[in-house]
């Protein structure tokens, strides 16, 4: 008869996975904070000439325009210029998948914390982090293709002055961390199965 036991190597993998999962969660929350221009997904250096500097900081639901010493905030849904409707749809879709990823991450962290003290299968956390990976894989390309590239292709805009920014980077890093965490959880589960086979009693 086999008695599974949690050896130090399996526990270490689970602790590392919990840490990377928590960092992934923080990155997702920070990316969600990019609904406005405070944590921008894209920045457009629109220049300003003799009138002063000009910069547009684009969030998922609205954008800030800084011209000289004045900042104005505009919702994508209230904007009437060419790419605004596309950015509005892309931003809302991106936000939806980020929220899905956040909810899955919360459940995964709870399961990981419980698994540190219990001899439970890790497959549920592996599945959750794979789901997070998929949600994030869908989210940031929607923004890039649906808004960022649309702005870059707009007439009279220098595409080299339209750049992805911090919120995009955080979502991308969270995507990578979700894959790493899923792999760590899968490795911990594999160790548990190997130790269960090698530990036997009559």
Task: Give the tokens for residue 112.
Answer: 């990981």
Separation in Å, CA 40 to CA 44, 61, 69, 163, 191? 10, 10, 19, 10, 42
The per-residue pLDDT for 10 is 78
Per-residue confidence band for 195, with pLDDT thresholds at 50, 70 and 90: low
Distance of alpha carbon 58 from alpha carbon 49, whole angstroms: 21
187 or 8: which carries more pLDDT confidence? 187
Cα torsion angle, 8, 194, 5, 114, sign: positive
Per-residue confidence band for 193, with pLDDT thresholds at 50, 70 and 90: low
157 or 72: which carries more pLDDT confidence? 72
Tell me, letter by letter, the H, E, C secondary structure of 133-194: HHHHHHHHHHHHHHHHHHHHCCCCCCHHHEEECHHHHHHHHHHHHHHHHHHHHHHHHHHHHH
Task: Give the tokens for residue 46.
Answer: 């629109």
Segment 113-156, tens digit of pLDDT: 888 766 666 688 999 999 999 999 999 999 999 999 999 998 78
Spatial CA neighbour of 95 closest among 183, 167, 145:
167
Half-sphere exposure in the Cβ direction for 171 (13 Å, CA): 33
Spatial CA neighbour of 73 closest among 86, 57, 93:
57
The per-residue pLDDT for 53 is 79
The per-residue pLDDT for 116 is 76
pLDDT of residue 36 exceeding 70 = yes
Distance of alpha carbon 150 from alpha carbon 116, whole angstroms: 46
Distance of alpha carbon 67 from alpha carbon 64, whole angstroms: 10
Segment 5-31, tens digit of pLDDT: 445 677 888 899 999 999 999 999 999
Half-sphere exposure in the Cβ direction for 187 (13 Å, CA): 15
pLDDT of residue 51 exceeding 70 = no
């Amino acid at each position: 008869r086999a008695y599974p036991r949690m050896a130090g190597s399996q526990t270490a993998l689970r602790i590392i996975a919990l840490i990377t999962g928590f960092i992934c969660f923080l990155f997702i929350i920070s990316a969600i904070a990019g609904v406005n221009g405070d944590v921008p997904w894209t920045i457009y250096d629109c220049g300003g000439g003799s009138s002063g500097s000009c910069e547009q900081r684009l969030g998922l639901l609205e954008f800030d325009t800084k011209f000289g010493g004045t900042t104005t905030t505009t919702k994508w849904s209230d904007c009437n210029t060419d790419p605004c409707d596309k950015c509005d749809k892309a931003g809302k879709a991106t936000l939806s998948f980020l929220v899905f990823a956040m909810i899955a991450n919360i459940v995964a962290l709870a399961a990981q914390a419980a698994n540190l003290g219990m001899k439970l299968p890790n497959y549920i956390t592996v599945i959750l982090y794979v789901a997070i990976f998929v949600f994030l894989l869908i989210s940031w390309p929607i923004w890039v293709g649906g808004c960022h590239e649309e702005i870059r292709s707009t007439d009279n805009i220098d595409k080299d002055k339209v750049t992805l920014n911090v919120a995009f980077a955080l979502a991308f890093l969270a995507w990578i961390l979700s894959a790493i965490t899923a792999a760590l959880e899968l490795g911990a589960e594999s160790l548990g199965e190997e130790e269960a086979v090698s530990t036997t009693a009559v």
